[in-house]
Amino acid sequence: MGRVAGFAYLEVLVAVAVLAVLLAPAVEGLHAGLRGSEASAARLAEDARLRAKMEEVLAQPFDRLAGAAEAAGNAAIPADAFSDPVSDPARRVVFLSYYDGDRRALVATPTGLIWVRVRMTGRADDLRSLVAR
């Protein structure tokens, strides 16, 4: 009698054992990838909110920005007229200051340039721009 084609019982058991051992790390890798994509989506949403605030500020007339820069006094004090309310957990804070293009320094005296910085509470990065008269 000849040998029957197909897998032996032992071969099938070994294949199932190998799959069982390798399946757990593969599923964990997929799960980690999904978590990363959720964090990335949240970061993209925060970036969009930050850019929207910057666009909102840059759309303001120069004189209004100049008044807010003078009211703030220096670049370390938020411009409350443009910042989100303090109660907002993802508060977007706007900083305005005059900018001296020659010395490339933030100054307290009026110039034709206003430095704008927008940052979000809980994040280390920010957006920066200049507005000219």
pTM above 0.85, yes or no: no
Q: Is residue 4 part of a domain?
A: no
Name residue 100's beta-bridge partners. Answer: 105
Give the Cα separation of 117 and 132 in Å (integer). 14
Is there a domain that residue 3 lies in? no
- Total domains in the chain come to 1
Residue 66 covered by a domain: yes
Query: What is the Cα Rg of the chain in Å?
Result: 29
Please give the Cα distance from 13 to 85 (Å, whole number). 64
Asked whether residue 90 is domain-assigned, the answer is: yes
Taking the chain (133 residues) in runs of 10, the rounded mean pLDDT of each run is: 71 89 86 79 90 95 92 86 91 91 72 91 90 89
Residue 76, pLDDT score:
85
Provide the residue range defining the domain that includes 53.
9-132
The amino acid that residue 18 corresponds to is V
**Residue 1 domain flag:** no
Instruction: Determine, yes or no, domain membership for 31.
Output: yes
Residue 2 placed within a domain: no
- Does residue 32 lie within any of the structural domains? yes
φ, ψ dihedrals at 55, nearest 5°: -60, -40
Is-contact 113 62, C-beta < 8 A? no
